[in-house]
Amino acid sequence: MTVPKLALSDNTGEALAKTRADVVVIGTLQGEDGPLLAAGAAAVDAAFDGRLAGLLATLGASGKAEEVVKVPTLGKLPAGVVLAVGLGKEGDAVTPEQVRRAAGAAGRALAGTDRALVTLSELDLQAAVEGTILGSYVFTAYRSEKGDAPVAKVDFASPSAGTAREHKATLKAAGTIAEAVLVARDLINTPPNDLYPASFADRAKKLAEDNGLEFEVLDEKALKRKGFGGILGVGGGSSRPPRLLRLAYKPAKAAKKVALVGKGITFDSGGISLKPAANMDHMTSDMSGAAGVLASVVLAAKLKYPLEVVAHIPLAENLPSGTSYRPGDVLTMYGGKTVEVLNTDAEGRLVLVDAMVRAAEENPDYLIETSTLTGAQVVALGNRTAGVMGSDDFRDRVAAIMQATGENGWPMPLPEELRADLDSRLADLANVTGHRWGGMLAAGIFLREFVADGLDWVHIDIAGPSFNTGSPWGYTGKGGTGVPVRTIAAVLADIAANG
């Protein structure tokens, strides 16, 4: 993971005269008659004698979202190039997400650049920092030819509002949050022959040691001794046995305790209920929830949230073999409830509830669980919108925060009529319904059966948003996205501020 070195500069007008940047990044808006220059571009425009918008129009620029147009300065500025990036249609105000996406597009376009001056920060410093770091991310660990490196150093023009101290704090926090997203992306993008339960645990241990976190790992023997039947059942078909991790950040004075749980299926073949071969390689991302939770508990320590944050991460490979669990098996979950397995490809909920019951034993005030749980999430909401379920008030609170961060969660119901469809002829409940309708919601209802009474909890289904199989867009490249790390960070900040 290579992260640009970040710095604050003066406002754009003062920074331009002494900048050592090779490229100056400005924002444009899509007006009715052509591109318009966004705030922060006035001083750059002055160097072009007020003709920059017309020059951009001549080059075909429109200001549409994420459009990138480069203009040589021909000595008019110390920097050699102006990079104009589109923010989208002109409106009442530019939103943080518009800035974040534009900065991400600029970050991708700056590959191979030594130094850049970004003026988008005059619109929103936090969004500009996050977008630039996330957009510049590349994963080249397995390539013999690495290509252009991400931009090495980025100076951000200071906004006119606020103090220098406030700006420095924003720069540090935004940079730290974005780096946490990259930690998750690196884990998700690591292939499953190198990332499996034990190696994931090793990485988590190193992060815990580096950041002063408590760390505990239960191997297959400890899992059996303590009765984690879901994790053992799912992981029983692999030669690489399962694990359950616990990482805890405990500040001296914690206002609340928050439990985090993330699904860590390091590869999902579907088990005996084998998935189709097409696109099975995408199942290397089935541990995105675990990656996000690990990155989030480390982030909590780095940002020193006044909260106790405890992560429980179940890890397993779901593979078919002579030792695999089977459709028709009955598993005894941690805590004693029994589940009839009707489909071994509905494995994520089985490992999650073991971890959720264990997490509830520590009496948290809130429980946040995230997972690539159902293909039904993609059918219902597409590849960029997560489904958010749970206790009503906390669900709505998290969904609103997720929308504000640009990670686009949407609150979903847990209809009572679907509960009867999880009835089992043998056990306390079955792991799937007998039909395809409301699969995302039924999975949420299954999880709810294992939530302690009175506990505020939320389940975030990131099956689509966690892994981008298409072309890069905004600050999102191909592969792991790191959703919902920014949401969890914002929720933790909100709990710290408001309880």
Cis peptide leading into 484, omega within 30 of 0? yes
* Residues paired with 24 in a beta bridge: 82, 117
SS3 state at 289: helix
Q: Is 286 assigned to a binding site? A: yes
Question: Of the listed 275, 384, 419, 448, which one is catalytic?
Answer: 275
Report in angstroms the alpha-carbon separations of 489 from 250, 291, 295, 458. 16, 14, 10, 15
Report in angstroms the alpha-carbon separations of 219 from 172, 197, 241. 37, 9, 8
Q: Is 396 assigned to a binding site? A: no
Asked if residue 26 lies in contact with residue 41, where contact means CB atoms within 8 angstroms, the answer is yes
Q: Is 210 assigned to a binding site? A: no
Residue entry with tokens 């030669």: 239
Question: Of the listed 185, 243, 349, 395, which one is catalytic?
Answer: 349
Residue 349 known to be catalytic:
yes
- Return the H-helix or E-strand segment holding 257: strand 256-262
- The single-letter code of the amino acid at 6 is L
Q: Is 317 assigned to a binding site? A: no
Nearest to residue 219, comparing CAs of 200, 243, 202, 199?
243
d(CA 494, CA 28): 32
Residue 172 known to be catalytic:
no
Asked if residue 495 lies in contact with residue 398, where contact means CB atoms within 8 angstroms, the answer is no
Nearest to residue 492, comparing CAs of 418, 356, 401?
401
Q: What DSSP letter does each residue of 319-378 carry, written as one string?
A: --STT---TT-EEE-TTS-EEE-S-TT--HHHHHHHHHHHHHTT--SEEEEEE---HHHH
Q: Is 263 assigned to a binding site? A: yes
d(CA 412, CA 392): 9
Helix axes 96-109, 125-136, angle to 10 degrees: 40
For the annotated binding site, the residues are: 263, 268, 286, 345, 347
Residues placed in the known binding site for Mn(2+): 263, 268, 286, 345, 347
Residues identified as active-site = 275, 349
